[in-house]
């Protein structure tokens, strides 16, 4: 009989120990809510400022990509002229970006005026690095009054809810994620259903019975059931309705109201009692007086 | 070749720094440039390197350490990838006689094969957790475009990691014993 040597024994023991840890970790894992550990809190606070810095230099990165890297092989003379034009374009782009940002923020503020929540405006600084999860990272956290499960919106509609939060950053589980289920109703017929994220930046509307008069173009709003999202926030629009030969429900495809490709700023809604109980940072102070 | 513990530590710290840099590229720079649909999961590639090219009892703990850093950038957490990494490592151990990463093409092919094992494991566990096996194909399919890109990048990254971990570029699959 072949004896197992010392090295193989160590390997087996190590493999087993890590495997047991991993299985335990998986059993404890929740994809819809997460408690922030000390390790996560510390490392996120150290690394995320780099993400924030890079996200805010998006304009420069885009400009570099579009206006320098793609024309690197042109002649020197052209380069001189193009540099001059680029400098002017850069100024114009910056001004145009500032104008657009102003417009977006104004729309965002006026949209949220209709809601009975306090709000914290935040910028998107990163996306989840795994394919199967659609999560965004915001540059505001506990210090700004943000709590887990707080709904996140834009002027176009629902983005998702806060999944985990550190002192200065928070992760939002978007409605594109398969783990986020939103109780919605069809605005026209008031029929209730559940919106779930599917592949390719689209969602599916589930549990709508075959005999419901659902049409392409119908708009979906939050139903206000479930305790996370306030009622009446725009969620998306039905783009395809399929009646299968089997089953009791319809197969419905939904395009979210929010264009996640162009998502830059969002509003985090905080129920009034939660917001007033938490320490309010200077960042929150200017908008705190104005109830949404 | 046997590595000293201090060398392992230095190589591991450099690998962690590389992972953090690559995770920032995936989670911030590429989305800022408009690339949001598919993610390049560099943690998978780095763990595949350790699983395929290293022969050591410490590899499971190195995988765990890398996954802990990955969990900062993804709600996937550390556990799922650690389990997948262990399964890939054990598969690589069984296949070590036939694994010869001597050419870029072989590296790409091997990496693609082990990525499939990785993603099938991850998808199975996710489906178990969310109790919905209807989504198995959909989730698995979402990994494919990114995994092909990763396989194309793998010879370069494996070469870099080979320098960090002092693994000879030729001569079979198992480079360094620690």
Sign of CA dihedral B127, B133, B137, B139: negative
Nearest residue of chain A to residue B69 (CA atoms): A43
pLDDT of residue A93: 67
**How many residues does this entry show for chain A?**
292
* Residue of A129, A178, A179 lying closest to B74 (CB–CB): A129
Separation of alpha carbons A35 and A207, rounded Å: 30
Inspect the interface and report whether the beta carbons of B64 and A21 lie closer than 8 Å. Answer: yes
Residue A16 near residue A8, CB atoms below 8 Å: no
Our CA-based measurement puts residue A106 at a distance from the nearest CA of chain B, in whole angstroms, of 23
pLDDT of residue A284: 37
pTM of the model: 0.76
**Which residue has tokens 């197969």?**
A251
Separation of alpha carbons A269 and A109, rounded Å: 12
Structure confidence by residue, pLDDT tens digits, A229-244 = 888 899 999 999 988 7
Q: Which residue has the higher pLDDT, A125 or A96?
A: A125
Considering only CA atoms, give the Rg of chain A. 24
Separation of alpha carbons B47 and B87, rounded Å: 11
Residues of chain B in contact with residue A125, where contact means CB-CB under 8 angstroms, are: 28
Residues 6+ apart with CB under 8 A from A85: none
pLDDT of residue B175: 45
Residues of chain B in contact with residue A256, where contact means CB-CB under 8 angstroms, are: none
Q: Which residue has the higher pLDDT, A262 or A275?
A: A262
Q: A3 pLDDT band (50/70/90 cuts)? A: low
Separation of alpha carbons A224 and A245, rounded Å: 32
Largest CA distance in chain B: 48
pLDDT of residue B61: 94
Q: Which residue has the higher pLDDT, B80 or A285?
A: B80
Our CA-based measurement puts residue A211 at a distance from the nearest CA of chain B, in whole angstroms, of 24
Under DSSP, is residue A243 helix (H, G, I), strand (E, B) or coil? coil
Nearest residue of chain A to residue B62 (CA atoms): A18
CATH for B5-177, among 1.10.1760, 3.30.310, 2.40.50, 1.10.3720?
1.10.1760
Q: A286 pLDDT band (50/70/90 cuts)? A: very low
Distances (CA, A) of A75 to A82, A83, A110, A134: 10, 12, 49, 43
B71 CB neighbour count, 10 Å cutoff: 26
Separation of alpha carbons A134 and A219, rounded Å: 23
Task: Say if residue A172 is exposed, middle or buried (CB neighbours under 10 Å; 0-12, 13-18, 19+).
Answer: buried
Our CA-based measurement puts residue B63 at a distance from the nearest CA of chain A, in whole angstroms, of 9
Residue A197 near residue A175, CB atoms below 8 Å: yes
pLDDT of residue B170: 54
Is the pLDDT at A275 greater than 60? The verdict is no
**Which residue has tokens 């703990």?**
B61
pLDDT of residue B166: 85
Closest CA to B44 of A275, A131, A146, A109: A131
Inspect the interface and report whether the beta carbons of B75 and A261 lie closer than 8 Å. Answer: no
pLDDT of residue A236: 94
Structure confidence by residue, pLDDT tens digits, A62-90 = 666 666 665 555 666 777 787 788 777 76
Among the ranges given (A107-111, A220-224, A258-262, B107-111), the one the predictor scored with the smallest mean pLDDT: A107-111
Is the pLDDT at A287 greater than 70? The verdict is no
Q: Which residue has the higher pLDDT, A99 or A231?
A: A231
Separation of alpha carbons B50 and B14, rounded Å: 14
Average pLDDT, chain A: 80
Q: Say yes or no: A61 contacts chain B, CB-CB below 8 A.
A: yes
pLDDT of residue B87: 93
**How many residues does this entry show for chain B?**
178
Structure confidence by residue, pLDDT tens digits, A168-213 = 999 999 999 888 889 999 988 989 999 998 877 889 999 999 888 8
Residues of chain B in contact with residue A171, where contact means CB-CB under 8 angstroms, are: 75
Mutation target for A interface from B2, B17, B28: give the one with most A CBs within 10 A.
B28
Domain ranges of chain B: 5-177
Q: How far is CA A190 from the centre of its chain?
A: 27
Q: A280 pLDDT band (50/70/90 cuts)? A: very low
Strand partners, A161: A151, A173
Is the pLDDT at A2 greater than 60? The verdict is no
Is the pLDDT at A291 greater than 80? The verdict is no
* Residue of B34, B39, B90 lying closest to A130 (CB–CB): B39
Main-chain phi, psi angles of A130, to 5 degrees: -100, 145
User: What is the predicted ipTM?
Assistant: 0.84
Give pLDDT < 50 ranges for chain B: 171-178
Structure confidence by residue, pLDDT tens digits, A9-50 = 888 899 999 999 999 998 888 777 777 778 888 888 888 888
A80 CB neighbour count, 10 Å cutoff: 10
pLDDT of residue A52: 82
Our CA-based measurement puts residue A199 at a distance from the nearest CA of chain B, in whole angstroms, of 7
Residues 6+ apart with CB under 8 A from A93: A59, A63
Domain ranges of chain A: 181-260
pLDDT of residue A282: 38
Residue A241 near residue A215, CB atoms below 8 Å: yes
Angle at A129 (CA atoms; ends A172, A33), nearest 5 degrees: 35
Closest CA to A63 of A99, A82, A89: A89
Q: A113 pLDDT band (50/70/90 cuts)? A: low
For chain A, what percentages of helix, strand and coil (3-state, to nearest 5) are there?
Answer: 35, 25, 35
> Quick one: fold of A181-260?
Thrombin, subunit H (2.40.10)
**Which residue has tokens 């335990």?**
A24
Locate B89 and state its tokens.
Answer: 């490592």
């Amino acid at each position: 009989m072949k004896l197992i040597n010392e090295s193989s024994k160590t390997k087996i023991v190590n493999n087993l120990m890590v495997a047991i840890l991993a299985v335990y970790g998986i059993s404890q894992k929740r994809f819809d809510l997460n408690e922030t550990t000390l390790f996560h809190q510390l490392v996120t606070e150290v690394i995320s400022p780099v993400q924030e810095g890079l996200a805010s230099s998006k304009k420069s990165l885009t400009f570099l990509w579009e206006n320098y890297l793609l024309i690197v092989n042109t002649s020197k003379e052209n380069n001189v002229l193009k540099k001059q034009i680029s400098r002017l374009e850069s100024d114009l782009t910056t001004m145009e970006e500032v104008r657009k940002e102003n417009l977006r923020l104004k729309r965002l503020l006026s949209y949220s005026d209709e809601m009975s929540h306090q709000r914290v405006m935040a910028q998107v600084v990163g996306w989840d690095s795994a394919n199967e999860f659609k999560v965004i990272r915001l540059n505001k956290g506990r210090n700004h009054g943000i709590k887990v499960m707080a709904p996140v919106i834009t002027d176009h509609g629902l983005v998702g809810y806060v999944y985990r939060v550190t002192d200065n950053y928070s992760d939002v589980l978007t409605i594109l994620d398969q783990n986020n289920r939103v109780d919605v109703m069809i605005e026209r017929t008031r029929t209730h259903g559940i919106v779930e994220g599917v592949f390719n930046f689209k969602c599916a509307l589930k549990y709508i019975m075959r005999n419901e008069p659902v049409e392409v173009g119908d708009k979906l709003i939050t139903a206000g059931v479930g305790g996370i999202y306030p009622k009446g926030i725009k969620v998306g629009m039905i783009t395809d309705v399929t009646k299968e030969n089997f089953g009791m429900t319809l197969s419905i495809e939904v395009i979210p109201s929010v264009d996640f490709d162009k998502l830059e700023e969002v509003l985090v809604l905080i129920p009034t009692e939660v917001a007033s109980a938490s320490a309010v940072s200077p960042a929150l102070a200017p908008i705190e007086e104005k109830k949404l | 070749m046997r590595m000293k513990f201090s060398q392992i530590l230095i190589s591991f710290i450099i690998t962690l720094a590389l992972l953090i840099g690559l995770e920032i590229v995936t989670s911030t720079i590429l989305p800022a440039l408009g690339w949001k649909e598919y993610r390049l999961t560099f943690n998978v590639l780095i763990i595949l390197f350790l699983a395929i090219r290293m022969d050591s009892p410490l590899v499971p703990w190195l995988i765990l350490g890398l996954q802990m850093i990955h969990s900062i950038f993804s709600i996937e957490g550390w556990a799922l990838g650690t389990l997948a990494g262990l399964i890939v490592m054990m598969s690589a151990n069984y296949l070590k006689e036939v694994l010869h990463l001597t050419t870029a093409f072989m590296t790409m092919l091997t990496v693609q094969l082990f990525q499939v094992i990785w993603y099938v494991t991850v998808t199975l566990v996710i489906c178990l957790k969310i109790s919905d096996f209807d989504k198995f194909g959909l989730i698995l399919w979402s990994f494919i475009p990114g995994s092909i890109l990763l396989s194309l990048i793998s010879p370069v990254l494996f070469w870099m990691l080979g320098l960090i971990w002092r693994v000879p570029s030729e001569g079979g699959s198992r480079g360094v014993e620690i």
